[in-house]
Structure 1
Amino acid sequence: MTTLLRRRVLAGTLSLLALGAPLPASSQGPDAALPGAVETREAGTCGGRDITAELAADGRLAAVEAKARAIPNGEGKLFRIEKAGVPASYLFGTMHLTDPRVQALPPQAEAAFAGADTLVIETLDVLDPAKSAAAMFAKPDLTYLPPGQTLADLLDPEEEALVRTALDKKGVPFTAVERLQPWFVGASLMLPPCEAERAQGGATVLDVTLAHRAEADKKAVKGLESATEQLEAMASLPIDIQVESLVSTLAFADRLPDVLETMVNLYLDGKIAEITPVVEAAMPESASGLGSGEAYAAFEERIVTVRNKTMIERVEPILANGDVFVAVGSLHLPGQEGLVELLRADGWTVTRAD
């Protein structure tokens, strides 16, 4: 595959984990699923720096901003949902991180959350680690390679050496993961150690925090997907895409804290549509190619678009009662087939509320 595709796949996968789905593999923090993983950074710190100034200096940021402007509903995290005769509800885009900056809701979102009777999140299974683990054990074909196949069979010698070296740094024997699907290994390694450190200290990702707050306030809490469905979405990715994502994660590991810091700042500013293109632009270029469009389109279709349509089908009956606060990954909001446009197509009036 071309380096262009590798960059796009890593950008899409990192955005997915932070903005698209609180997957069981990452819900307890990176490395939680990998035996023997050890902390390698100062506890509780990410050590990243915002790279937008760097991208602006060499002209890449202007291209990113132009790309983002073309995406419908690319700005904003909070939208008001209305229909005649139904109390207003709200759609809020989350980031699946423990970062305290992300945890603090903007004032408008805080007011909308406080006034809601019902909270809707992507999956209730993320609230129960045992249930998430059970989903993985119940269908091992979603996280394990087929019998007789190992990770080494999917990697060329250079890629295998990269993976082994990276795992060694984390104290994870290659033999401990060689039967796992590449997407599962990559998801466990993608976010920086500070997320694991905060999770080990009891911090939760924003979606879970909101659910706990809602339960304490006696609000109803509902989910739109099961953990199994989210696992099925990731496991459905073609194996070559999974390998590219894993190899890219490890090849660009030193860059990931900076990328994550930039993602957080863009999220806080409500520049949702800029996030994935910024991640893509931040990755080193050593080659170029044009053959990646179809493969990446398939990635987006399965991981974002198909799930958006499922979410709409399941959330609209809940919205019919009004006074609902829907909190899902921000990646699901923008675009022609994002939740905002899909709701409008079904007759809802949806306006930016932040």
Structure 2
Amino acid sequence: MRQFSAILVGLLIFSTPALAECQGQNLIDQLSPDAQTALRAEAAKQPYAIGNYWLATKPGQKITLIGTYHFDDPRHTATMAALAPVLAEAKTLLVEAGPKEEDSLKARMADDPSLIVNTDGPTLAEVLSPADWQHLSKAANDRGVPAFMVAKFRPWYVSVLLAMPACSMDITAPPEGLDAQLMKAATARDLPIQALEPYDTLFSIFGQMSQAEQIDMITSALALEDKSADMAVTLADAYFAEEGRLIWEFSKLQSLQMPGFTPERVEREFAVMEKLMMNDRNQSWIPVITAAAAKGPVLVAFGALHLSGEQGVLNLLKAQGYTVTRQSLLP
């Protein structure tokens, strides 16, 4: 529940600032051929490990699913072109958080700053070691956030900030990840947009974590902060290669290289994070998806990491009797 949790938040929950192109290297490509083969073999153990675009059908029901990448990337243009006929047919677009939920979240944070700001406890400058605080101050400043502000943020929120590479942040631009582009296209068509979950799901998830666990998220994120540009490139490349599960397994590999992280500890903590961030949410989404599908064709868009796994959305739909088939994003 440390470095990878920050990555997951960035990929699965937040509408983020626009991202310019990072000049980094693909860290998976830097592995030896044998290590890459082993990594892909581990990913392949999970159902639906490869593929971003899927169709689930029952007699009279049609669910199109697209795993998304919440950050800007010019490669989304081709995906949007492939999805245009689906948008034209759909009766509903389902997303993690629609415009109403985003507005509710902004209003709640404006009314109650304590959700992301620590208003009564020690600051991060007091909690972190001097070296970690100095490192965090510089990392935050590189992302356009002054140290006096970041000192008061909740630790999990700081981890989200650190998950966004400094090389790519443009806080003046609106988010234009695949989710945002689909919602814009749906709005232009007057296609109803429905959320898969309540707007405050994020706070419920992190409310289950202790202060110590959240502080560990910061220190672990700082340990890999110098690789943030490389990680951004690696994650994007894996997504557009439609190797979603590979992202998960590579993040485990990265954690194993950190001091104090044994294989047993990594497995334990990733299992907890998979339950909180993915499996529990996936299960709660299924009734929402199937209810919408009963009213006509539906397009469902959510973070790509939710697709795969025993408790992934695709396997859960299969257990509900749907026939699940991969679709091609190529013209």
TM-score of the aligned structures, taking structure 2 as reference length: 0.87
1:269 aligns with 2:241: yes
Deviation, structure 1 residue 352? 1.6
Q: Among residues 73, 77, 86, which one is paired with 1:99 in the alignment? A: 73
2:162 is aligned to: 189
1:91 is paired with a residue whose SS is strand
- CA RMSD of the aligned region, Å? 2.6
Name the amino acid aligned to 2:45: A
- State how far apart, in whole Å, the 1-side matches of 2:101 and 2:16 are: 9
Cα distance change on mapping 1:148 and 1:242 into 2, 3 Å: closer
2: CA distance, partners of 1:118 / 1:216:
13
Are 1:132 and 2:105 counterparts? Answer: yes
Q: 1:27 is matched with which residue?
A: 16
Equivalent position of 1:323 in the other structure: 297
Structure 2: distance between partners of 1:93 and 1:341: 14
Q: Which runs of 5+ in 1 are unaligned?
A: 1-7, 31-43
**Which of 31, 37, 45 lines up with 1:55 in the alignment?**
31
Instruction: Give the Å deviation of 1:282.
Output: 4.4
1:270 and 1:297, CA in 2 relative to 1: closer, same or farther beyond 3 A? same
Q: Secondary structure of 1:100's match?
A: coil
Q: 2:313 aligns with which of 317, 321, 339?
A: 339
Which segment drifts farther, 169-178 or 60-69?
Answer: 169-178
After superposition, the Cα gap between the structure-2 partners of 1:244 and 1:324, relative to the gap in structure 1 and judged at 3 Å, is same
Cα distance change on mapping 1:79 and 1:266 into 2, 3 Å: same
**Which amino acid in structure 1 is aligned with residue 16 of structure 2?**
S
2:60 to 85, 88, 95: 85
Q: CA deviation at 1:29?
A: 4.9
Cα deviations by residue, 1:285-341 (Å, 9 ceiling, x for unpaired): 445423344333222211111111111122221111221110111111110111111
5+ residue gaps, structure 2, are: none
2:216 matched to 1:244? yes
Contact 1:182–1:243 (CA under 8 A) maintained in structure 2 = yes
Contact 1:83 1:347 in 2 (8 A): yes
- 1:11 counterpart (4, 7, 15): 4
State percent identity of aligned pairs: 26
Q: How many residues align?
A: 326
Q: Provide the secondary structure at the position in 1 that maps to 2:185.
A: helix
Letter in 2 for 1:185: V
CA distance in 2, matches of 1:320, 1:299: 32
3-state secondary structure, aligned to 2:75: helix
8 Å CA contact 2:43, 2:246 repeated in 1:
yes
Summarize deviations over 1:35-67 as a string: whole Å, max 9, x none: xxxxxxxxx33112222221135x432221111
Asked whether the equivalents of residues 14 and 190 of structure 1 are also in contact (C-alpha less than 8 Å), the reply is: yes
1:256 and 2:228 matched: yes
Pair 1:63–1:239, CA change in 2 (3 A): farther
Partners of 2:166 and 2:125 in 1: CA distance: 25
User: Which residue of 2 is the match for residue 39 of structure 1?
Assistant: none
Deviation at 1:261, TM superposition (A): 1.0
Does the residue aligned with 2:29 lie in a helix, a strand or coil? helix
Q: Specify which of 265, 286, 297 is matched with residue 271 of structure 2.
A: 297
Deviation at 1:346, TM superposition (A): 1.9
Instruction: Check conservation: 2:6, 2:159, Cα contact below 8 A.
Output: no
The equivalences for 1:116-131 within 5 A come to 116-125=90-99, 128=102, 130-131=103-104
SS of residue in 2 equivalent to 1:225: coil
- Which amino acid is the alignment partner of residue 229 of structure 1? T
